[in-house]
Amino acid sequence: MSSGPTRYGHRGYIGSRPYDGARVPQHVQNLVIRDYCQKHGHAFLLSATEYAMPACYMMLEDVIREAPNLDGVVLYSLFMLPERAKRRRDICLRILAAGASLHGAVENLTIQSEDDLVSIEDVWRVRHLAFDAIPTAALRTECEG
């Protein structure tokens, strides 16, 4: 009698393009994910690296297909997910439906149920409010000054 698929750990997901206006080197993204997994007692599997093209999620789709064999997926940041709320929700729901959890290492947030999606969307709304309120050029000037 089988109890379902064997789950092997938490797959990391990193990228090559900027997120929130910052380009973080891939080795640093991996260090953040590895540290997150250690702190939460998760077995860390090597990260899938997304292609640099804007709005490309080919590698994330591969990870979603692998999700039935994973305990979870650890994104470097939740802001690596698509900008469009419907697409973002669909990706989260597909990972949850596969029996895996979804994590944002930078934000230290976990999505284990549909209820958790509400708080994630709140984080997205706050991010948009913050970015709309303070122009990026003003932030750069303030930081450089």
CATH 3.30.590.10 assigned to domain 10-144? The reply is no
Query: In degrees rounded to 5, what are phi and psi of residue 10?
Result: -115, 120
- Strands, E assignment, the chain: 10-14, 44-49, 72-75, 101-104, 109-111
Q: For position 141, what pLDDT does the model report?
A: 57
Specify the pTM: 0.86
Structure tokens at 39: 């702190």
In the chain, which stretches have pLDDT less than 70?
1-4, 131-145
Q: What is the DSSP letter of 22?
A: B
Q: For residue 128, give every residue at least 6 positions away whose Cβ sits within 8 Å of its Cβ, in sequence order, or none.
A: none
pLDDT value at residue 6: 85
Amino acid identity at 56: C
